[in-house]
Structure 1
Amino acid sequence: MMDNRSGKGLSFVRRIYPPRIIGLGIGMLSVMAGISTLAMPEWVWGLLLFNGLIWPHLAFQLARCASVPYNAEYRNLLLDSLMGGFWTAALQFNPLPSVTILAMMAMNNFAAGGQRLFFKGLLAQGLGAGLSMALFGAHLQLQATPLQVYACLPMLTLYPMAVGWVCYTLAMKLAEHKRRLSALSRTDSLTGLLNHGSWKDMLQLKFQICQQQHCEAVIAIIDIDHFKSINDTYGHVVGDCVLSQLSSELKRSLREDDLAGRYGGDEFCLILPNTSLEKAKAAMERLRERVGSYRNPQLPELRISLSIGLARCREGLGDAEAWLNEADRALYTAKKSGRNQVNFAQSELSTLNLAYPD
């Protein structure tokens, strides 16, 4: 919400503060040069000094302490436009300083509030000009002195740079925010691993690469044995700790190119690229042993075991779903065979069980 003092409203106030200091400070120089040749009362000079030097800080404090900072800052921007119109008429619409002030304020309003603030700012500038003409009369001065030309140069150079810097900073923050949101949408909140949808997307991609490049890859589906009993016996808090423990072991043991995801509930899935079944089995056996040796000091009777199904990406698989189904069938066999073991897809058992008997 824009009225959140710790959120967008307050950040909006902070974002406007530096450009206002720069803009009103150097804009004051343009106005000074313009009215120096005119017979203005002393209070006008006092108002100009207040507007250029004090108002930026006062506006910041007023908006920062307001119950709705965004709305307060929006009003401050309209007051800035009002004063811009006032000084333009006080300058007798001298073309160079007048156009400089109005153009810079229009740019600021568009950058801060889009089309809506831009048109409201134009209206405020018109009201300010009308007030000035009511006080000093309507005059037109078309000649600019060298002093007025030089006084406008800082406004034409420094202020656009300040606005550009603010816009760039905001763009970088938005890009980072978008990156974080994208990461959150792809990961499981409890384990920090890829969520179901993201892992399935990566599975499709890896399958296509393996089929095109004829490279090795293995899928592992990991199931925590009797996880429902753990939840029923010790509670869901302990169950979540078990899931977190397994995810931590995966993160520690996997290579940089390996992809781990929480497939759902107590099931985890791995994609192990450039890996043979022999190496995958050895890695999963080490994982099973490490998780099995885990002990919770507060629950010494708690035991964790894993059933794991493996499947190699091979020729003859029609799609990534068929590859996944082979690993799922291997997991089913592991669970039916007593759990706490690593099993292969049926097409691989005859060869690999000779080298790695259960």
Structure 2
Amino acid sequence: MENQRGKGLSFARRIYLPRAIGLGVGFFSVGAALYPLNMPTWLWLLLVFNGFIWPHLAFQVSTRSAFPYQAERRNLLYDSLCGGFWAACCQFNPLTAVTILSMMTMNNVAAGGRRLFVLGAITQVAGMLLGGLIFGFKFNPMMTQTQVWACLPMLTLYPLAVGMVCYQLAIKLAQHKRTLSALSRTDSLTGLLNHGAWKDLLHLKFQQCRQHNTQAILALIDIDHFKLINDSYGHIVGDAVLQQLSRELKRLLDSGELAGRYGGDEFCVILPDLPLNKAESLMEQLRQALDQYRHPDVPEMRVSLSIGLARFQPNYSDAIAWLDDADKALYTAKHTGRNTISVALSHSATRAGL
């Protein structure tokens, strides 16, 4: 309910400026056409109200409504009704009538697409019938120089206002699209890349290493006995451990080094253009940082990591082979005492975590 109201308020705010500009300059277009026709005073007062008071009143009506979107759509239809009415009052003067009706039609299409275009057109016809019933159905093809000049602001300022609103809306939509794209690639708990996004980057990095003959290190990181942590201290404490690991990864890694949550308590990192010894040193810093971590509510809890490293090899058939080597190294680390960094090399170097 609150979300719908928020969208309705945003819609009303987008319409407010084009309506205020359009009806304000429209006053002069209609006034120039009405002046030679000796219309009654009440009609001029209605024109003043429609041109300078109604835009602000309509905004208050829609923003104070429980359903702002529906209220604003009704306001747009009222605008169309008035447009048809003024076209008839001006005796369907070609320049004034076409200017008013086309600008309002453009606004309806921009605000509500085909449906509002159709409803607006029907309402415009209703307004013409109302004006014709009051003042008669007359056609006045004569156009004065004053009427031409009076219509120019409507033909320039109003499309500019509508265009600016559409541009701002397009910018917001692009921002929302980027935000949604980032959310779809991000693990909500840790803020790191999720499984799918990281796998995509792994394949990309594999191709870059193969094509440009560059090096990279792949690291798989597993929290030792994480299920025991959840069972003993609860999932809230377990989530805190996962978040702490993600914070340490973000602190230690450069922007070009890509970390992700592979699943559950398993994390993954791609370290491009980094020698193996430096990669081991970096992962050792990570292992020590988690070893020193103390949760404020359960200071007795200890956290350790098992880490498997695999250097890119030109003879890998695909990225999965590279990942499989890192996974084998992780398996070795987990089955040789844990709290360990294991390296998948031809000479199978394995290092204990001190």
Q: For this structure pair, what is the TM-score category when the shorter chain's length is used for normalisation?
A: over 0.9
Which moved further from structure 2: 331-340 or 68-77?
Answer: 68-77
- Determine helix, strand or coil for the equivalent of 1:347: coil
- 1:194 is displaced (CA, Å) by 0.3
Question: Residues 3 and 67 of structure 1 are in contact (CA less than 8 Å); yes or no, is this contact kept in structure 2?
Answer: no
Structure 2: which amino acid aligns with 1:201? D
Alignment partner, residue 112 of structure 2: 113
Q: CA–CA distance in 2 between the matches of 1:323 and 1:347?
A: 13
- Determine helix, strand or coil for the equivalent of 1:4: helix
- Determine helix, strand or coil for the equivalent of 2:160: helix
Alignment partner, residue 17 of structure 1: 16
The number of residue pairs the alignment matches comes to 354
Deviations 1:169-192 (A, max 9, x none): 000000000000000000000000
- 1:57 is displaced (CA, Å) by 1.1
Deviations 1:289-310 (A, max 9, x none): 1111112233220111110000
Q: Does 1:222 align with 2:210?
A: no
Q: Residues 348 and 96 (structure 1 numbering): CA distance in 2 closer, same or farther, change over 3 Å?
A: farther
Alignment partner, residue 4 of structure 1: 4
Structure 1: which amino acid aligns with 2:128? A
Question: Residues 191 and 244 of structure 1 are in contact (CA less than 8 Å); yes or no, is this contact kept in structure 2?
Answer: yes
Alignment partner, residue 300 of structure 1: 299
- 1:13 is displaced (CA, Å) by 1.0
- 1:347 is displaced (CA, Å) by 2.0
- Determine helix, strand or coil for the equivalent of 1:339: coil
Q: CA–CA distance in 1 between the matches of 2:326 and 2:254?
A: 20
Runs of 4 or more above 6 Å deviation: none
Alignment partner, residue 146 of structure 1: 145
Question: Residues 2 and 70 of structure 1 are in contact (CA less than 8 Å); yes or no, is this contact kept in structure 2?
Answer: no
| Aligned counterparts, 1:1-358, within 5 A | 4-6=4-6, 8-350=7-349
Q: Which consecutive unaligned segments of at least 5 residues does structure 1 have?
A: none
Q: Residues 357 and 44 (structure 1 numbering): CA distance in 2 closer, same or farther, change over 3 Å?
A: closer
Q: CA–CA distance in 1 between the matches of 2:197 and 2:318?
A: 17
Q: Which consecutive unaligned segments of at least 5 residues does structure 2 have?
A: none
Question: Residues 66 and 72 of structure 1 are in contact (CA less than 8 Å); yes or no, is this contact kept in structure 2?
Answer: yes
Q: Residues 42 and 286 (structure 1 numbering): CA distance in 2 closer, same or farther, change over 3 Å?
A: same
TM-score normalised per structure 1 = 0.96
Question: Residues 311 and 345 of structure 2 are in contact (CA less than 8 Å); yes or no, is this contact kept in structure 1?
Answer: no
- 1:349 is displaced (CA, Å) by 2.3
TM-align CA RMSD: 1.5
- 1:9 is displaced (CA, Å) by 1.5
- 1:67 is displaced (CA, Å) by 2.0
Q: CA–CA distance in 2 between the matches of 1:288 and 1:226?
A: 15
Q: CA–CA distance in 1 between the matches of 2:276 and 2:251?
A: 20
- Determine helix, strand or coil for the equivalent of 1:175: helix
Q: Residues 3 and 68 (structure 1 numbering): CA distance in 2 closer, same or farther, change over 3 Å?
A: farther
- 1:120 is displaced (CA, Å) by 1.2
Q: CA–CA distance in 1 between the matches of 2:118 and 2:335?
A: 72
Question: Residues 294 and 304 of structure 1 are in contact (CA less than 8 Å); yes or no, is this contact kept in structure 2?
Answer: yes
- Determine helix, strand or coil for the equivalent of 2:143: coil
Question: Residues 2 and 9 of structure 1 are in contact (CA less than 8 Å); yes or no, is this contact kept in structure 2?
Answer: no
Deviations 1:249-289 (A, max 9, x none): 00010011000000000000001111121111111011111
Deviations 1:41-75 (A, max 9, x none): 11101110111111111111111122221111111
Which moved further from structure 2: 272-281 or 246-255?
Answer: 272-281
Question: Residues 225 and 307 of structure 1 are in contact (CA less than 8 Å); yes or no, is this contact kept in structure 2?
Answer: yes
Deviations 1:111-158 (A, max 9, x none): 001111111111111110111011001111111111111111110110
Q: CA–CA distance in 2 between the matches of 1:3 and 1:151?
A: 42
Structure 2: which amino acid aligns with 1:329? K
Q: What is the percent sequence identity of the aligned residues? A: 61
TM-score normalised per structure 2 = 0.97
- Determine helix, strand or coil for the equivalent of 2:36: coil
